[in-house]
Structure 1
């Protein structure tokens, strides 16, 4: 993550273009990050 994705996001809004990702993509990324964190804390495999 860096400046480029944020610039792309603003450009998409200004130019009224569809976003590359959607809420579902964000939800899945959040689920994966939470599972990684839980696995690191517990030392066990987290199944999604």
Structure 2
């Protein structure tokens, strides 16, 4: 396992970057859905 990490460090960095970007994307998606629900609820209260 250690040999793989030392010989293929570029792939390890790439995998970590993909995991980070996926986490950011999922967080923003969840935040957008919550914001849309709040906007919808705000429109209902005004009417």
Q: Name the TM-score, length of structure 2 as normaliser.
A: 0.47
User: Which protein shows a greater Rg?
Assistant: 2
Q: Which has the higher contact order (CA 8 A, sep 6+)?
A: 1
Higher helix share: 2
Q: Name the TM-score, length of structure 1 as normaliser.
A: 0.46
